[in-house]
Structure 1
Amino acid sequence: MSTRSKGARSPKKMGKPWWYKPLFTLAKVALVLFFVLATYLIYLDSKVTQAFAGQKWQVPAQIYARSLALFPGMALTSVQLQAELEQLQYQRNPALTSAGQYSVSRNHVTIFRRAFTYIDGNEPETLFSVEFNSSGINRIRYRQQEEVNFARLEPQLIEHMLSPHQEDRELVRLEQVPILLKESLLLVEDRDFYHHRGVSPLSVLRALWANISAGRTVQGGSTLTQQLAKNMYLSSERTLLRKINEAMIALILDYRFSKDYLLEAYLNEIFLGQNHATAVHGFGLGSRFYFAKPLTELRPDEIALLIGLLKGPSYYDPRRYPERAITRRDLVLRLMFEQHLLDAKQYQQAVQQPLQLVARGQYLNARFPAYLDAVKKELRQINFDQQLLSSGIKVFTFLDPKAQQQAELTVRQQLQSRDEQVQAAMLVVNYQRAEIQALVGGKESGFAGFNRALDARRQIGSIIKPVIYLEALNQPGRFSLASMLEDQPLSLRSTNQDWQPQNFDKTFRGKVPLVTALTDSLNVPTVRLGLQLGMPTISDALKKLGLSRRITLQPAALLGAIELSPLEVSQLYQTLANNGVYQALATVQAVTDKDGHRLYHRPGQRFSRYSLQSIYLLQHALIAVTQTGTAKAIQRALPMTVFAGKTGTSSDYRDSWFTGFDQQTLLTVWLGRDDNKPIGLTGGSGALPLFIDYFTRQGAQSIIRYLPEQVTIQAFSATSGAPVAETCANVLLLPAIVVEMQQLSACDN
């Protein structure tokens, strides 16, 4: 056993290096940071991925006007068709090089129609020509060869229905974006987009060098993915923390989604300008906001302008700062030329183009607030998920922009010489299909406000009389157009007051034929007839004709002392004009989701409420109103056209009405004051001139009605109203419903 010598020292333990402890601490901190960062990344990944994969945006509902259907025999002129194309922002180009263009030659208009999605599916872009003759469309040829019986234009986009605080955008798919726009965008904003992983150090270095060389900021280092992350998830504050978040979100997006998916999202998200209080997002809406046309029709200079705006939509606003915008646009064009996206000729043409912008807010035809008010009210009553209103649904309406503009023009011009307190409402209806084509809610038609066409309930005066006379004529064994009605003084006790109705001229005629009483709008015979029929019968008649509200009728209601809106009056007369067939008036034709799948289609329910025979007799009398009666001014103004209609004047001249129709269109006009004070106008002197002006400018088609079965032309005694032989003297020749075993009376002495 060996022993240590005395005084020998124990071996000294080796100490840890000086850097060990700091390194160990740093490792622990790094580990904690790693776990924190990993946890945060997992959180970000879950939050960002879920939101990005779902519905990323609230997209406003898009409201469209009707699609103009074209067919041989249609009463349409070449000038009218060209006006429609101009409204749709078609460009006149004899070469017809792309969709959205048209050409004109003698009696032909050739159209390169855009592709669009309609109620019944996708319509591809196509070329067709329309040939005109003196009466309208003669023939339609596809590709100028195949003759067809039908063609149509895409409907006009008239409104984006925004909810409060909702951004405005119009979604586009990547395949809808022109290649030149995609390549130019990547050239200017992110050349390595398809090669980096969401963050590009090379782009940062390239931007730094470019900015140093220029002596100012001319290029950014953020990738498109980083810009997308910032716009969708972060604020615009310039802090290190925000930049870190931006980079992390960009890495996640790039890992989770394809490049094409990210590029499409960027194209739809990026901010491109301000439309008053509403932000304009995405290239789809940007194209319409600045140029009022789809992306596919943009010229190189227009593409360059939109891309140039990305650097600062407010600073380079082309409407406020056109010189700045042109300078920026030309810089982008120069880059496009240098990178061979444009050849020399295209480049020179592009830089020489002036700014051609539509007025702010005019990219939509959103100048029809009263009509859109009716659409929105109807949408609230339609049975579909209302949350879809923020998912980019498409609402197809019956609005006829040409009819709407003419109705507004008529109201504005005809009221210029009136008392400034006089207001107006007008409805234009295709009564055969119960479609509201135009609606004016007041003389200041371009501004939203009280919609008198829908919400003003006013006394209707003699507008009610055809309802009473129709009920009488619906009893052919009892009444005919020649039936004699008493025009003698009458006194009634109504609402605890004595009521003595008077004719307009304060005279009495003894006995008058039923047709004359209606044509000349005589009050006393009408009251007597209504009382003979009974107030419950008149109430039921209003319901059959389409009045949905329950109202209580007093005898004074027989002269129009009931309050209806112009819309309700139009509904009553829709049934009268449409041969007794009732169909609820509507503004909305259909609703589809953003992909074109139908969510709602207007039901085509139609109900026959009166016989064709009794309606024919009533329409005969209403035609006489416009030729020899209270509305004979129509005959003087438009002598070659046959109309039917009825004037209406409420007590003390507070309300002036006229509602009438031609072969296809029903027009209702109301004039009055909001405070219900007298305006001093009858239906003939107030509302009727607006009716005449509208049809004079818009055009009209004469009413054509054929004698129905069981209706014949019969001779009636002008003194007794009894049917007599045609050989008798002093007879009235009137249509009458054939009654079995009807005996002819002897001729008057």
Structure 2
Amino acid sequence: MSTRSKGARAPKVKVRPWWQKLLFTLGKLALVMSFLLVTYLIYLDGKVTRAFAGQKWQVPAQIYARSLELFPGKALTSSQLQAELEQLQYQRNPAMTAAGQYSVSRNHITIYRRAFTYIDGVEPEALFSVEFNSSGINRIRYRQQQEVNFARLEPQLIEHMLSPHQEDRELVRLEQVPSLVKEGLLLVEDRDFYHHRGVSPLSVLRALWANIVAGRTVQGGSTLTQQLAKNMYLSSDRTLLRKINEAMIALILDYRFSKDHLLEAYLNEIFLGQNHATAVHGFGLGSRFYFAKPITELRPDEIALLIGLLKGPSYYDPRRYPERAITRRDLVLRLMFEHHLLDGEQYQQALAEPLQLVPRGQYLNARFPAYLDAVKKELRQINFDQQLLSSGIKVFTFLDPKAQQQAELTVRRQLQSQDEQLQAAMLVVNYQQAEIQALVGGKESGFAGFNRALDARRQIGSIIKPVIYLEALNQPGRFSLASILDDQPLSLRSNNEDWQPQNFDKTFRGPVNLFTALTDSLNVPTVRLGLQLGMPAISDGLRKLGLNRRVNLHPAALLGAIELSPLEVSQLYQTMANDGVYQTLATVQAVTDQDGHRLYHRSGQRYSRYSPQSIYLLHHALIAATQTGTAKALQHALPMTTFAGKTGTSSDYRDSWFSGFDQQTLVTVWLGRDDNKPIGLTGSSGALPLFIDYFRGQGAQSLIRYLPDQVRIQAFSAISGTPVAETCANILLLPAMSVEMQQQLTCDD
């Protein structure tokens, strides 16, 4: 029973006022929101910090040409060196006040060379002079005093290798950036950068007031850190949520990283323009994109233009809207002057400077798509982490820009009056080092496309003959240059067809010596010689000379009825030219990371495949071929220079070839049509004129070959081809191996 007395009143429940309920609810909501905000900040902090501390960007691989080496005795003229300096964007300045400048006086060129990192380490800034004489470089002196035996220029940057979705940038370190760039940037974009915490409320209020007064958006309140946050992590949407995210990321970045770290990131991230479909990011690349020089060499007017572009790279594009760009640049210059970053003289001089921009897309020193195609293929075969290709690695190649430009000019000039369907390929090789210095993949050399130098496999014609003759001369007890071959009608079965090989002039000469058969490129004696040696020997010869794939050999292959690319032909002739020493042809010399640590270096392995003696005999015949044989037009065109080489013409005049060399350079030329229709040109009437044109423009060094041990000049009977005494009648004087001259020599009966 209840103890409550009957009729007692229940206790009154106290009801909270509505405003207390609201406060209580809001408090709980605030706690939840605070929890969510803290959780989100922790998540955002981890994500942003991890990304910012790691590799922030995909940076394209930088591809460089060779470094021009200078030494006494080098065959180089003053004008050629000046052209190289112009390609490197050196400025001619007699005062020589900074790196990247040169001066010319009579027979001297003085160079203030830039610092650069090369394969073997850092090369500091250097001032040196190069003195010339009639034959080339006479001496080199550092700072006009110390005489040295070697100097070199930095290699030309020729390409940024971009992946399909990759932005283009060139990273710079903060210490590399001129103080005027840093101070001018902060002056225009964020004067309180080193004092705020990533977000500046005063800047926001100031911008808001300016926009209200103007009635439109005329000023932004974002700090440099907020701009960095937006560019690296957010979209460009103008929403409140995006602005909140931007502010939080800016606070995190400012808390986690130093101001210098953030400023360096901004300098490398900011968008500065568009190169066709590729965005240009960062001041390092912007300097090259607009002025084709490193950021360290920018003038005040050029710095002001880059800083001014930040407000709107499209609106102020100096190539499309030069008046707008100059107005914006001059405004930045005025701010620099008013805040004492420039004195009066510097300010007036900068205002007077016109816009001096390089053409769009030409901020790299050159574009050689066929050569770069070879580089990219070679990079894919090199054993290193391919993901590094997007980490700013540096690829140093053997490209000689002067040789490349001459090769392209030769192809363009020689084909301009020919059938419009006629195509060409050309390779220029330093055969002693097996370095590909230039490569042309077609007559439209400035455009990427089918690379005929690498990928066009065409019948090589008589280009194969030195392979056969070298195999014979490599058997000194059996063959010599005087050995007699039969030039008589021949019928045999080849490729399941009856085949009667003919000489080019459709005549037969009877007995001919091996030397004449090669220099005059006689077909029937060559076939007979090849059959004597046997197809396995010819296949082995191709392998030893550097053909790394199997080809189907049949009798017609002895006259070049096999298909090789110009690159494969160049590889064969590299071994022949290089005294029988094989080395794989290459375009890539080395690969380093951004800091210069070596990731790959070409090994340079060499293999002796033929004796110097047999190679000397072959060279003797190939030299004669350019003087009295099928390539005698070369002797008439360049009479003061000795070359060796061989013409080639495929059946029905479908392909025209020439491969030849001087003392250090091998050049292979192919002409033909992509549809494989006849072109009506032989090796001597088609490809050889391009070879001549190239060396006329580039210069040549006479081929010099000394008699090797166990080789001497010997008298041979012109009738029997056997060694005879020099007093005999009807003799030939030819180099021969001593093994052929052991017996007592007499005359033929």
Shift of 1:16: 5.3
Map 1:122-201; keep pairs closer than 5 Å.
Answer: 122-201=122-201
Q: Is the 8 A contact 1:723 1:744 kept in 2?
A: no
Aligned pairs for 1:264-663 (under 5 A) are 264-663=264-663
Which amino acid in the other structure matches residue 593 of structure 2? D
Structure 1 position 12, deviation (Å): 9.5
Please report how far the alpha carbon of residue 703 of structure 1 lies from its aligned counterpart in structure 2 after TM superposition: 0.5
Distance 1:10 1:510, change over 3 A: closer
Are 2:484 and 2:513, in contact at CA under 8 Å, matched by a contact in 1?
yes
- Cα distance in 1 for partners of 2:18, 2:703 equals 107
SS class of match (2:261)? helix
Could you say which residue in structure 1 is the equivalent of 2:716? 716
**Separation in 2, partners of 1:740, 1:349:** 80
- C-alpha separation between the residues in 1 aligned to 2:387 and 2:11? 83
Match for 1:186: what amino acid? L
Deviations 1:205-224 (A, max 9, x none): 33345556667644321101
| 2:664 matches 1:664 | yes
Match of 1:46 in 2: 46
Report the alpha carbon displacement of residue 496 of structure 1 after superposing the two structures with TM.
2.7
Q: Which residue of 2 aligns with 1:729?
A: 729
Contact 2:88/2:365 (<8 A) preserved: no
Secondary structure, aligned partner of 1:159:
strand
Please give the alpha-carbon distance, in whole angstroms, between the structure 1 residues aligned to 2:646 and 2:538. Answer: 18
Q: Secondary structure at the match of 1:716?
A: strand
| Matched residue SS, 2:356 | coil
Distance 1:479 1:463 in 2: 21
Cα distance, 1:356 vs structure 2: 0.3
CA contact (8 A) 1:722 1:745 kept: no
Task: Quote the offset at 1:417 in angstroms.
Answer: 1.1
Equivalent-residue separation in structure 2 for 1:132 and 1:544 (angstroms): 42
- Assess if the C-alpha contact under 8 Å between 1:400 and 1:438 holds in 2: yes
- Residue 11 of structure 1: CA displacement? 12
Deviations 1:133-174 (A, max 9, x none): 000000111111111111111111111111111101001110
Number of the residue aligned with 1:113: 113
Q: Which residue is 2:676 aligned to?
A: 676
Between the aligned partners of 1:301 and 1:215, the Cα distance in structure 2 is 32
Q: Which moved more, 1:21-30 or 1:235-244?
A: 21-30
2:528 and 2:719 map into 1 onto residues whose CA distance is 19
* Structure 1 residues 337 and 215, CA gap change in structure 2 (3 angstroms): farther
Greater mean alpha carbon deviation, residues 505-514 or residues 643-652: 505-514
Note the C-alpha offset of 1:128: 0.8
Give ranges in structure 1 of 5+ residues lacking alignment.
Answer: 1-8
- Is residue 454–residue 567 contact of structure 1 (8 Å, CA) maintained in 2? yes
Structure 1 residues 245-271: Cα deviation after superposition (integer angstroms, max 9, x where no partner): 000000000000000000000000000
Distance (Å, rounded) in 2 between the aligned partners of 1:87 and 1:311: 32
CA distance in 1, matches of 2:484, 2:444: 46
- C-alpha distance in 2 between matches for 1:312 and 1:734: 76
Query: For residues 87 and 380 of structure 1, do their structure 2 counterparts lie closer, same or farther at Cα, with a shift above 3 Å needed?
Result: same
Q: Bigger shift: 737-746 or 711-720?
A: 737-746
Aligned amino acid, residue 36 of structure 1: L
Offset, 1:27 = 1.5
What is the TM-score when the length of structure 2 is the normalising length?
Answer: 0.97
Pairwise CA distance, 1:544: 0.3
The count of corresponding residues between Structure 1 and Structure 2 is 743
What secondary structure does 1:724 align onto?
Answer: coil
Q: Provide the rounded CA distance (Å) in 1 between the counterparts of 2:390 and 2:355.
A: 33
Displacement of 1:741: 6.0
2:709 corresponds to which letter in structure 1? E
Cα deviation code 1:705-740 (max 9, x no counterpart) = 111000001111222212122222322111111017
**DSSP 3-state at the match of 2:739:** coil
Secondary structure, counterpart of 1:605 in structure 2 = coil
Question: 1:265-308 CA deviation, whole Å, 9 max, x = no partner?
Answer: 00000000000000000000000000000000000000000000
DSSP 3-state at the match of 1:624: helix
**Aligned position for 1:258:** 258
Between the aligned partners of 1:213 and 1:745, the Cα distance in structure 2 is: 112
Q: Which amino acid aligns with 1:308?
A: G
- State the SS of the aligned residue for 2:543: helix
Deviation per CA, 1:192-239, whole angstroms, max 9, x where unpaired?
000000001122233345556667644321101000000011100111
Change (3 A) 1:305 1:215: farther
Distance 1:445 1:15 in 2: 90
Q: Match for 1:189: what amino acid?
A: E
Superposition TM-score, scaled by structure 1 size: 0.97
1:78 lines up with 2:78 in the alignment: yes
Stretches of 4+ moved more than 6 A in 1? Answer: 9-15
Matched ranges for 1:98-109 at <5 A: 98-109=98-109
Q: Distance in 1 between matches of 2:476 and 2:590?
A: 41
Q: Which amino acid aligns with 1:379?
A: L
8 A contact 1:722–1:744 mirrored in 2: no
Equivalence for 1:65: 65
Superimposed CA distance per residue, residues 673-728 of structure 1 (whole angstroms, 9 cap, x where no aligned partner): 11111000000000000000000010000011111000001111222212122222
State the Cα distance separating 1:497 from its structure 2 match: 2.0
Shift of 1:474: 0.6
Shift of 1:619: 0.3
What is residue 243 of structure 1 aligned with on the other side? 243
Deviation digits for residues 101-125 of structure 1, max 9, x if unmatched? Answer: 1000000011111111111111111
CA apart distance, 1:366 = 4.4
1:312 aligns to what SS in structure 2? coil
Contact 2:723–2:740 (CA under 8 A) maintained in structure 1: no
Q: Secondary structure at the match of 1:600?
A: strand
Q: Percent identity?
A: 88
1:17 Cα deviation (Å)? Answer: 5.8
User: Which AA in structure 1 matches 2:550?
Assistant: R
Q: From the superposition, tell whether residues 213 and 103 of structure 1 become closer, same or farther in structure 2 (CA, over 3 Å).
A: farther
Task: Tell me if structure 1 keeps the 8 A contact 2:476–2:740.
Answer: no
The residue aligned with 1:6 is none
Counterpart position of 1:230: 230
CA distance in 2, matches of 1:689, 1:11: 119
Paired AA for residue 266 in structure 1: Y
Indicate the RMSD between aligned Cα atoms, in angstroms: 1.7
1:551 Cα offset (Å): 1.2
Closer, same or farther: CA 125–219 of 1 in aligned 2, 3 Å:
farther
Q: Tell me the CA shift for residue 82 of structure 1.
A: 0.3
Q: How far apart in 2 are the matches of 1:307 and 1:515?
A: 71
| 1:477 Cα deviation after fit | 1.2
**Is residue 542–residue 572 contact of structure 2 (8 Å, CA) maintained in 1?**
yes
Residue aligning to 2:704: 704
Aligned equivalents of 2:187, 2:417: Cα separation in 1: 60
TM-fit CA distance, 1:30: 1.3
1:283, 1:306 within 8 Å by CA — same for their partners in 2? yes
Displacement of 1:309 in angstroms is 0.3
What residue number does 2:6 align with?
Answer: none
Query: What SS does structure 1 have at the residue aligned with 2:250?
Result: helix
Cα displacement (A) at 1:89? 0.5
1:21-64: per-residue Cα shift (whole Å, max 9, x none)?
22222221111111111011011001111111111111111111
1:655 shift after superposition: 0.3
How many Å separate the matches in 2 of 1:408 and 1:740?
47
Please list the CA deviations of residues 85-112 of structure 1 after superposition, one character each: whole Å capped at 9, or x if unmatched: 0000110000111111100000001111
